[in-house]
Amino acid sequence: MIYLKRFLLFLFVLSAISSLSAQVKLPALVADNMVLQQNAKVNLWGWASPNEKISIRLGWDNLPIEISADANGNWKTAVDTPLGSEKSYDITINAVNTIVLKNVLIGEVWLCSGQSNMFFPVGREDKTWKTGVKNYEKEVKNASFPSIRLFTVALHASQTPLEDVTGSWKICTPESIQTFSAVAYFFGRDLYQKLKVPIGLISTSWGGTKAEAWTAQSVLEEDVAFLPILQEDAKNEKLHQEKLETYYLNLTNERIASAENAPKGQLKKPKKEPNKTSYVLYNAMLHPIVNYTIKGAIWYQGESNSGKAYLYRSLFPAMVKSWREEWKQGDFPFYYVQITPHKGQNAEIREAQLMSLKTIPNSGMVVTTDVGDANNIHPIDKQTVGYRLALIARAKNYGEKNLVYSGPIFNHMKIKKHKAQLFFDYAQSGLKKNGETLKEFEIAGEDQVFYPADAKIDGKTIVVSSSKVKEPVAVRFAWKAIPEPNLFNNENLPASPFRTDDWVINLEKK
């Protein structure tokens, strides 16, 4: 009798374990409070037992969707969504177990990524670099938008691609916005106030990170120009391992000596920052979410790549291209922020970002020379940055055809006698200066020596000259770490720094 009871208990436990393993599971992004991209085919996916049958019922469609997991237990299906509205829906997923996703909205979904200036939260965190945005107390207090949903991907790094992230969808409230990306929030808030449809914002960012950390390993290995990045990673890893070896040797000696009353605890174990290595953030914080259907992406990064700005010219577009290939949504919109003036940066990284407008299809760039802080790598005016990103989306994606979304971008130069005439895109309504005279223009002849230049607005162009340069061949504008330019178009959007020459700059670390 005792053996029979034990046998039955064994069968019960085995059945329970089998049932548990068969339960359908969903990724963190497919959850309560999520926003799905409107009027699109969006992916729902997850895991189950091999070949398990799954039924999905959508709150906006009466017909159930019947699918089966594959031989490895993976399943994915694309479903049609209606036009966005404030109406919330449930989604029911039936298999061995039942999952009901509640309070799902249909609207616009944007991915928001980069380093610390994207991570920088709306609220303040005392005794940290997270000082809060301009007027943060007021912004936090007024952040009640039930139709804006926020998802922050938890910080994580991995040497291999992962299947899922950690995080949850939160309704936008004064409590939830406190720690959410400020640039993402102000971008999403402006879109919501203009479009009147729900907005879903997925923030996946980490301070102090380079573009290569957000780029797939295969992309870095396949381009000979990027191999030195991986070589440097290997060198740094070797140095770290050597430090660890020395540490453990010294720790052994200390432990042996402790028997003779020697002091203990004097050694510090070498640490390695997990986010400083190539492709580890792509693996852990991007690859797991590529199934989630998005409208587009915004990006604020570049500070950590400024030391190798020439390489960024090709690395940044390669990263974007690989993201688009992973998402399988074509050349989705990709809008980014040109880094602000700061004592630790250089003009070359802004040039690399400017050049990327031509090498990244369906892209747009926000200029921030008027909202920077020479002594603070994290300027607090994130409202303007978010607003300008939203301008690009509104003009290029949401039908505001006559909306000017960029400041003047240099197009070409003509030399007329002793003067240079500069022509710009996004200057159709004219140019203006904030102040008495235009600043930050320099001009040079064949000797490549630049002198401060007199610059005057002539209709939609700028005429530049200097008594010290009789035969000008090149002009530079705001070409320094901390420029203070004052050239705008009549829509009050600042002109991007630029140079007309391509002369090698010796100070740049290629």
pLDDT at 6 over 90: no
What pLDDT, in 10s, does the model give residues 432-441?
Answer: 999 999 999 9
d(CA 61, CA 224): 50
Selection from 207, 29, 173 nearest residue 111 by Cα: 29
d(CA 92, CA 72): 23
Whole-number Å distance between alpha carbons of 456 and 439: 10
Q: Note the pLDDT tens digit of each residue in 254-300.
A: 888 776 655 566 788 999 899 999 999 999 999 999 999 999 999 99
**pLDDT at residue 510 is higher than 60:** no
User: What is the mean pLDDT of the segment spanning 368-392?
Assistant: 95
Question: How would residue 8 be classed by pLDDT, with cut points 50, 70 and 90?
Answer: very low
- Quote the pTM value: 0.92
- pLDDT (tens digit, 9 = 90+) per residue, 124-142? 999 999 999 999 999 999 9
Out of 50-54, 99-103, 188-192, 256-260, pick the least confident: 256-260
Residue 146: enclosing H or E segment and its boundaries? strand 145-152
Query: H helices of 50-115, where?
Result: none
Bridge partners, 89 (sequence order): 104
pLDDT above 50 for 508: no
**pLDDT reported for residue 505:** 82
pLDDT at 477: 98
Listing DSSP states for 303-320 in one string gives: GGGGGGHHHHHHHHHHHH
CA distances to 183, 440, 463, 496 from 460, rounded to whole Å, are 31, 18, 10, 15
pLDDT at 115 over 80: yes
Residue 391 has a pLDDT of 98
Region of poorest pLDDT, from 217-226, 286-295, 357-366, 368-377:
368-377
Give tens-digit pLDDT for 447-494.
Answer: 999 999 999 999 999 999 999 999 999 999 999 999 999 999 999 999
Most confident of 58-62, 196-200, 376-380: 196-200
Question: Residue 509: its pLDDT value, please?
Answer: 43
Per-residue pLDDT at 18 exceeds 50:
no
pLDDT in tens, 407-425: 999 999 999 989 999 999 9
The mean of the pLDDT values for the chain is: 93
pLDDT on residue 336:
98
Q: What's the pLDDT band for 11 if we cut at 50, 70, 90?
A: very low
Region of poorest pLDDT, from 14-28, 171-185, 469-483:
14-28
Amino acid at 54: I
Q: CA torsion sign, 419 to 423 to 424 to 430? A: positive
The predicted pLDDT at position 251 comes to 87
Q: Which residues pair with 451 in a beta bridge?
A: 443
- By C-alpha distance, which of 430, 432, 433, 414 is closest to 422? 414
Average pLDDT over residues 218-238: 96
How buried is 82 (Cβ within 10 angstroms: 0-12 exposed, 13-18 middle, 19+ buried)? middle
Contact 480, 347 (CB under 8 A): yes
Find the Cα–Cα–Cα–Cα dihedral 69, 74, 79, 81, rounded to 10°.
140
Q: Is 95 exposed, middle or buried (0-12, 13-18, 19+ CB in 10 A)?
A: buried
- Residue 233: pLDDT band with limits 50, 70, 90: very high
| pLDDT of res. 20 | 45
Q: For residues 438 and 456, is the Cβ–Cβ distance under 8 A?
A: yes
> Could you give the residue ranges of the DSSP H alpha helices within 162-308?
174-177, 182-195, 217-222, 227-258, 280-281
Band (pLDDT 50/70/90 cuts) for residue 16 is: very low
pLDDT at 263: 58
- Phi/psi at 412 (nearest 5 deg)? -160, 170
Assess contact for 301 and 341: CB atoms under 8 A: no
10: confidence class by pLDDT, cuts 50, 70, 90: very low
